[in-house]
Structure 1
Amino acid sequence: MTEGEKARLVAWNDEIRRVHDRLREALRVAREAVADGVANGDTTRELLLYCHGFCTALTSHHVGEDRHLFPAIAAEHPELADTLRYLVQDHSMISHLIQGLQSSIDQHDDPTELDRHLEGIAAIMESHFRYEERQLLKVLGELRLDEAPGDVLGPL
């Protein structure tokens, strides 16, 4: 194995941490924008864009994992089938919560209602990310997957 191949193998665990950190940051920014809206009693277009951008990024991340990453892990590590099934269930739950937030955005709900949705997403998302990292980082460090990182983990 060449140094470049080894670097590519090790990169998947680093890539997922970076994407998780960016999604955490996007959520923080969205929640700050909502908090400003709560303080000002204002649901502005900018606030709605922050929420929509976060939802789009998180959804893209989970779709990429479901389509590319998890099947590759399952092929090399069938013993992780239950873990992967649990993670896919989390994705479904988070998708449902995002749909609720999107409906709230479409209805132009006040910032307090938007924050309620973001708080629920934040709780599940953080639990999901921590579990995923505990269960998969070692496997990701050895994973052979010849895909573009953006396809596998969502936009970087």
Structure 2
Amino acid sequence: MNVHPPDSPADRLAAVGNQMIEIHLWLSAELARLRAGLDADGPGAARPSRDLRAHCLTFCTALSRHHTGEDHGAFRVLADQVPELRPVLANLITDHEVVAGILGRVEELLGDPTPMPVARLRGELDGLAALLESHFRYEEKRLVAALNALTGRPGTVDELLGLTPPAG
């Protein structure tokens, strides 16, 4: 039973860890759609379709925003309120840096005006999917309970996690 009104600040704060899981599920689904879209373009395609490129860039922006939001929002709050999590947070920030490198390569591939084998883009997205699956599970296992237990008013979900879970 929820002790707070459904849209009260205390309820929104208590669910930050759960909302992180929702964001991860959405990001994973979007990445799966991107990878499936590469199949729709065909293995011999010289370039992904314009729609697929736009979707990919939108995804890259959302994932970057989420990780930046965590680094500067939730992770700082957790480091202050739960200092024993600092080594975990450092590992997660390192993961974020690796992900940023992959996203940079994806954006370079998409911005290159010369034809490029879709296989190169697929390789980057496949590597990203494998890394994110591991990263998201580790982050959820180690942080959800701590995020759900945050006290005070450390910020909105958007400020803490960089994104708000999509409705629906």
User: Could you tell me the TM-score, scaled by structure 1's length?
Assistant: 0.91
User: What pairs up with 1:56-75 in 2 under 5 angstroms?
Assistant: 56-75=61-80
- Given the alignment of the two structures, is residue 119 of structure 1 paired with residue 123 of structure 2, yes or no? no
Q: Which residue of 1 aligns with 2:51?
A: 46
Cα distance change, pair 152–5 in 1 and its aligned pair in 2 (3 A): closer
Question: Hey, what does 1:146 align to over in structure 2?
Answer: 154
Please show how residues 7-156 of structure 1 align to structure 2 within 5 Å: 7-39=11-43, 41=45, 42-108=47-113, 109-144=116-151, 145-156=153-164
| Residue aligned with 2:15, SS | helix
The alpha-carbon deviation at position 39 of structure 1 amounts to 4.3
Q: Structure 1: how far apart are the matches of 2:128 and 2:156?
A: 27
Name the structure where helix makes up a greater proportion of residues.
1
Counterpart CA distance in 2 for 1:11 and 1:85 is 23
How far 1:149 sits from its partner (Å)? 1.5
* 1: CA distance, partners of 2:159 / 2:81: 19
The runs of at least 4 aligned residues of structure 1 exceeding 4 Å deviation read none
Quote the Cα distance in structure 2 between the aligned partners of 1:53 and 1:9. 27
**Contact 2:17–2:145, Cα closer than 8 Å, also in 1:** yes
Cα deviation code 1:122-142 (max 9, x no counterpart) = 111111100000101110110
Q: Give me the whole-angstrom Cα distance separating, in 1, the residues matched to 2:57 and 2:42.
A: 17
In 1, Cα distance between equivalents of 2:48 and 2:9: 49
Report the Cα offset of residue 5 of structure 1: 5.5
- Following superposition, the deviation at residue 9 of structure 1 comes to 3.6
Instruction: Give CA deviations for 1:13-41 in whole Å, capped at 9, x if unaligned.
Output: 11101100110111011111111113462
- Farther-moved stretch of structure 1 (65-74 vs 40-49): 40-49
* TM-score, normalization by structure 2: 0.85
* 8 A contact 1:35–1:115 mirrored in 2: no
- The unaligned stretches of length 5 or more in structure 2 are none
Q: Which runs of 5+ in 1 are unaligned?
A: none
- Residue 71 of structure 1: SS of its match in structure 2? helix
Counterparts of 2:48 and 2:67 in 1: how far apart (Å)? Answer: 28
Aligned residue pairs, count: 155
